[in-house]
Amino acid sequence: FNVFAIRGEEYRDPSVLLTGLDHLAGLKVEHQICAHGPPMSGRSEILAGIQRYRDSIQFIWDQTVRHANLGLSLDEMIHKIQLPAVFETDFHTQQLYGVVEHHVRQVYTGLFGWFDEDPGKLFPLAPGERATKMINAFGGRALMQGAFDEALAAQDYRWALELGQLLVSDPAAQDAQADKARLAAGLRQVAFCSPAANIRNWCLTRALELEDNLDLSRFRIHRFREQEVLSGQGARWVPILRVLLDADAATDVYGSIGFTFDDGSSAGLLIRHSVAVPVATQACDLQITLAVSTWAKLLAGKTSLSSVLAEHGNLSVDQTMQVQALLALFDLPSFRA
């Protein structure tokens, strides 16, 4: 069952499901077809399954709040809150998609925020600096590598992952690939032990990347799909650019650019205080008119801004340079080409 997926998502309060599940339980149906999971038949079996599923969600929510009120930190309560054995007997409440300790984290941060009164989390060091200092405090890389190997051999995978991540995060590492192989080995063991498909898949994928057997760089850049841009109005995509603004590059920059598209839509952005504020096109100093098809290719990286502007006869040389300067502030290679 699922309260949180490690791929990341907005907080969804699982307690709102309880009313709906109570309603389903009251229908007393003879057959049930699930969006996720196998179908079921039999009135009593379905009722018992719905009740178990409902109660597992309430258990996680209630116990997370209870332990928070008792003053436990998040890292403490994930080791305290365990599903009762009754939930392990049902496919719908087994930890085959996500795991309870991650669901607890999601509920806690959704209700209370990220700070769990652990003073070490108030102002943490940058990961690389923390790794270097922890390795030094450990007595050096060799000792930490040995501790990792011992933890892995002892099947202490939680400790192994912590040590492995420190080793690969250290910017001073001289044998980075060997330590990446260590962490990959730890991740594989976690994958082999976990009943949750999401955990298994993530760990195996990360292990392949650490070993340079998988290139995931394309997932760590901003990308638009041409067909997706073409599916709606061109102006829809202008305000989305705000989250692509390079804040450092935009320091002390003040300027605005408006876009008008051949589908009749328009939108603009005002650059100030290192943010891109959505505004009406009419309020912008610079204005450019584009075909949605051209806009889609530009966002998708299938053409360059310089090529688009070269075909745009309504801008002066100075205006062209201003458009290039403003759009170069955004994390799109096509805007900088």
pLDDT in tens, 95-124: 988 899 999 999 999 999 999 999 999 999
Q: Could you say which of 73, 90, 119 is where a domain stops?
A: 119
The pLDDT of residue 1 is above 70: no
pLDDT in tens, 147-202: 999 999 999 999 999 999 999 999 988 878 999 999 999 999 999 999 999 999 99
Question: For the CA atoms of 156, 133, 181, 176, what is the dihedral angle to 10 degrees?
Answer: -170
Last residue of a domain, one of 119, 146, 174: 119
Place of tokens 């996680």: 60
Helices (H), the chain: 17-27, 43-69, 74-80, 100-112, 127-138, 141-153, 157-169, 176-193, 197-210, 226-230, 292-299, 305-310, 317-327
pLDDT of residue 172: 86
Q: Is the pLDDT of residue 56 over 70?
A: yes
pLDDT at 43 over 70: yes
pLDDT at 315 over 90: no
pLDDT digits (tens, 9 = 90+) for 225-235: 999 999 999 99
Asked if residue 320 belongs to a domain, the reply is yes
Q: Give dist(CA 189, CA 175) in Å, integer.
A: 22
Q: Token pair of 306, please? A: 């310089």
Q: Are residues 240 and 211 in the same domain?
A: no
Three-point CA angle 148, 133, 113, nearest 5°: 90
- Distance CA(102)–CA(190), nearest Å, equals 15
Instruction: Indicate the range of 5-14, 48-57, 82-91, 97-106 predicted with least confidence.
Output: 5-14
Q: Tell me the average pLDDT of the chain.
A: 94
State residue 300's pLDDT score.
Answer: 96
pLDDT confidence bin for 6, thresholds 50/70/90: confident
Contact 127, 162 (CB under 8 A): no
The b/e string for 200-221 (b: 16+ C-beta within 10 A; e otherwise) is bebbbebbbbbeeeeeeeeeee
Same domain, 187 and 288: no
Domain, as residue range, for 280? 226-335
**Could you tell me which of 233, 232, 300 has the C-alpha nearest to residue 265?**
233
Domain shared by 214 and 234, yes or no: no
Residues 109 and 193 in one domain: no
Residues 288, 253 share a domain? yes
The mean pLDDT value for 91-95 works out to 88
User: 4 in helix, strand or coil?
Assistant: coil
Q: Which has more confidence, 221 or 336?
A: 336
Last residue in a domain, options 64, 88, 119? 119
9 domain residue, yes or no: no
Whether the Cβ atoms of residue 92 and residue 24 lie closer than 8 Å to each other:
no
pTM listed for this prediction: 0.88
User: How does residue 314 score in pLDDT terms, banded at 50, 70 and 90?
Assistant: confident
Residue 156: its pLDDT value, please?
98
What is the tens place of the pLDDT at every residue in 264-291? 999 999 999 999 999 999 999 999 999 9
